[in-house]
Structure 1
Amino acid sequence: MGAGRNWQGDWPNTPGRLIGTGLIRLYQITLSPIVGRSCRHLPTCSEYGYEAIARHGLVSGSWLTFWRVLKCNPLGTSGIDPVPERMRWSIWRMEEKENRK
């Protein structure tokens, strides 16, 4: 369970992203081995959260991760569920435009 399992792409090292990905990494190192690999999706929910926060920032990535974790239950979905390249909601796209300035 090394760092290689998480998304390796380029992303801005903003404080929010570093805190969010750091918390997920802490979960992966400490609690994930105890809980076991029970995620129904690929990538796993923690890998998804790491990538979502790294790509889209703490707020947008956290919302994506929240919805993903809600789907990961016995009555939910399963299979391949990648992080979206771009956010669909207009409020998140406004945040991206502001960050480019």
Structure 2
Amino acid sequence: MTYVIAHPCVDVKDKACVEECPVDCIYEGRRSMYIHPEECVDCGACEPVCPVEAIYYEDDTPAEWKEYQTANAEFFDELGSPGGAADQGLIERDHPFIAGQPLRAA
């Protein structure tokens, strides 16, 4: 199991979760943050600091946002497991599901 970043993060990317993550497993895409499912240690530190309540334990992800589980995992198919987000910086892409979401007003 792992944590998942869902719809409320799209076009927000507050990054409070990044500051709190002890294993540096939260990566930044163009429009959303992504939790690496193999690097996450399920500590849950990211969940309570998210100001938009976008982070869920995989089993607790609301039904309308279940597709974000797949998007979070598949985002890393090409990237692999770099072993930490800090050295990666902004990854200039998103999972196609997230890239296809309507833009949210700033």
After TM superposition, the score normalised by the length of structure 1 is: 0.29
Whose strand fraction is larger, Structure 1's or Structure 2's? 2
Whose helix fraction is larger, Structure 1's or Structure 2's? 1
Structure showing greater Rg: 1
After TM superposition, the score normalised by the length of structure 2 is: 0.28
Q: Which has the higher contact order (CA 8 A, sep 6+)?
A: 2
